[in-house]
Homo-oligomer: A and B are copies of this chain.
Amino acid sequence: MKMSQLFGRTLRDRPSEADLISHVLLLQAGMIHQVSTGVYSYLPLAWKSIKKIEAIIREEMDLAGAQEVKLGILQNREIWKQSGRDEIYGPDMLRLKDRRERELALPPTNEELITETVKTVVQSYNDLPFILYQIQTKFRDEPRPRGGLIRVREFDMMDAYSFDADEDGLDLNYQKMISAYTKSFERCGIKTVIVDADSGAIGGKDSKEFILLADSGEDTIIMCPKCDYAANDEKASFEILRHQPEPAQTLESIHTPNQTSIEDVSNFLNISQQKTIKTIAYMSDNEIILVSIRGDLEINEVKLKNFLKSKELSIADDEQLKKYNLIKGFLSPINKDFKTIIDHSITPETNYCAGANEYGYHHINVLLGRDIMPDSQLDIALAKEGFKCIKCPGNLVSKRGIEIGHVFKLGTTYSTSMNANFLNHEGNPTPIIMGCYGIGVGRILAGSIEQHADEKGIVFPKNIAPYQAIVVSLNTDKKEIKEAALKIYDHLNSNGIETIIDDRNTSAGVKFNDADLLGVPIRIVVSSRNISKDSVEIKIRTANDGELIHLDTVLQKTSQLLSEYK
């Protein structure tokens, strides 16, 4: 490709409308174009990258034995109602009506449709197992699209689905997908960590996320630097530091005027926060629930919501508290009227301080089992940096990242709701056991820029760079320079090195800046000065200085530098 003919315009200045570096650079390099809020077109250079990413994913999925399909986009909304996700997605799903007023949905994911499709084909255990995948556009009406290709309303996603007769089969396919993902991301030149994750609106049991670590990421990851433990903060656990068992003391009520926060009470009574109990009233689908945790910890609402299976979960407001005679700032875990859930941080042999549900009063010497009689006790604590690792003696650290891939063990959630059965060895209809797996294709492109970009622009990993080499032709007013540059360009291309040439009539400064901005791994500069010595300058994108090499060695040197380049 000749840059004089390339469609796209690099900008001298960084666009002001963008914050994330990937968004900034994709716009500045003329690689994407905004169509509507959260919707982008890929222009030629970005699309070349995306096609390479897709090709890598296809190869790895095919090697894992998955079969590629392409599903229809315009789906009947009815199947979303059948699975219950029409309601769960709510305004996040785009819906429309056709000319006959039939309701259609634009899918954010395809569990419903693939289950509908598969059940017309699968009859017995003999037809299982298999994995289907596709790379296709998905739609999600994000309330706050942001960051260019990071949080969009329309995105190219690889979505895969596995179908098995038993749990062992699911485990095997789940592992195959994890392995295919790991290889895909490695080949794309991005570093990801695999973390335990919450399964969210997709449903199902186990799930893991592939997170590209980047400070600009929206997701918070809790990980241990000493072992392999890593989890999304929505899912992360930690080792709680336990108190020494104490003898039980008598429950007492104490006047604590205006002491409504844990910090206040702890200071006022000179009690460690670890010996206090924080109680919060939640509304879970119109039911009021009291939730208690040790005072120094915080409640992880995702864990709580999952346990309660609530559709909507929110902290009760003043009006709701009043309705149930609950005293704000002094809520007590001791009650008989409401469902009460406590975190596993609260232990039986500690005398805690907790609200007394009376204005200006707390209890001291509150005991679990004697005073608090919870309906359930479980892990609903939010893990944070500095907490102890659950697997080793390390201290957890918190990192930011971008979710690039996600794998789920769905089990029979969808096959049950959509009646997708197979006849087992005994001839009995049995729900198919499913898994589902997704990769954000556009996020790999943006994420790789977040991870590798420098102050000069994009630094593409070689396997997903739109071009592997750029020939920068200076002194384009001189015919012999132009011809020498074109000769190198043709030579590299005909030897399988995808090369672009900057043959524009513009200054050397602009050309050098653009070569850096576009992130091409190898730069070859052809100038009057060097060509007179039968040499050109060659430089890798990440080096400061180039090297003069003889014209005859350009192909050999380019290949060598590329093979060493990440």
Which residues of A are in contact with B by a Cβ distance under 8 Å?
Answer: 1, 5-9, 30, 33, 35-37, 39-44, 47-48, 50-51, 65, 67-76, 91-92, 94-96, 98-99, 102, 104, 106, 113, 117-118, 120-121, 123, 130, 132, 137, 139, 141, 143, 153-154, 156
Contact = CB atoms under 8 A, between A and B. Distances in A.
A41 B69 contact: yes
A300 B75 CA distance: 38
Contact of A6 (B51, B67, B76, B113): B67
Contact of A75 (B36, B51, B117, B118): B36
B68 A44 contact: yes
A35 B139 contact: no
A1 to B, nearest CB: 8
Nearest to A505: B126
A33 B75 contact: no
Contact of A50 (B8, B48, B70, B154): B70
Contacts of A67: 1, 6-7, 44
16 contacts: A1-B67, A7-B121, A33-B117, A35-B76, A36-B104, A40-B72, A41-B69, A41-B70, A41-B117, A43-B69, A44-B132, A70-B156, A73-B137, A94-B104, A98-B141, A99-B143
A37 B47 CA distance: 31
Most buried by B among A36, A67, A68: A36
A169 B1 CA distance: 20
A96 B70 CA distance: 23
4 A-B pairs closest in CB distance: A35-B72, A96-B96, A39-B72, A91-B99
B96 A36 contact: no
A206 to B, nearest CB: 24
Nearest to A127: B9
A402 to B, nearest CB: 21
Contacts of A95: 96
Contacts of A123: 9
A36 B51 CA distance: 29
A153 to B, nearest CB: 6
Nearest to A137: B73
B99 A96 contact: no
Contact of A99 (B5, B33, B141): B141
Given A5-B130, A75-B36, A113-B35, A69 B96 contact: no
Given A74-B94, A96-B106, 16 more contacts: A8-B121, A9-B123, A33-B120, A35-B74, A35-B75, A35-B76, A36-B75, A36-B76, A36-B104, A41-B71, A44-B132, A50-B70, A51-B68, A94-B98, A94-B104, A98-B141
A39 B156 CA distance: 19
A184 to B, nearest CB: 19
Q: Is the interface of A mostly helix, strand, loop or mixed?
A: mixed
A152 to B, nearest CB: 9
Given A99-B143, A102-B37, A130 B72 contact: no
A51 B68 CA distance: 10
Contact of A139 (B48, B74, B117): B74
Contacts of A153: 74, 98
B30 A121 contact: yes
Contacts of A141: 98-99
Contacts of A130: 5, 7
A53 to B, nearest CB: 12
Contacts of A73: 39, 137, 139, 154
A533 B293 CA distance: 79
A410 to B, nearest CB: 18
Contact of A94 (B9, B68, B96): B96
A154 B74 contact: yes
A106 B121 CA distance: 31
A44 B71 CA distance: 10
A124 to B, nearest CB: 12
A50 B69 CA distance: 10
A109 to B, nearest CB: 15
B75 A9 contact: no
A536 to B, nearest CB: 27
Contacts of A76: 35-36
Most buried by B among A71, A91, A132: A71
A1 B137 CA distance: 27
Contacts of A117: 33, 41, 43
Contacts of A71: 35, 41
A71 B132 CA distance: 26
Most buried by B among A37, A73, A106: A73
A48 to B, nearest CB: 8
Contacts of A9: 120-121, 123
A253 to B, nearest CB: 49
Contact of A39 (B41, B74, B91, B96): B74
Most buried by B among A1, A72, A92: A72
A95 B72 CA distance: 17
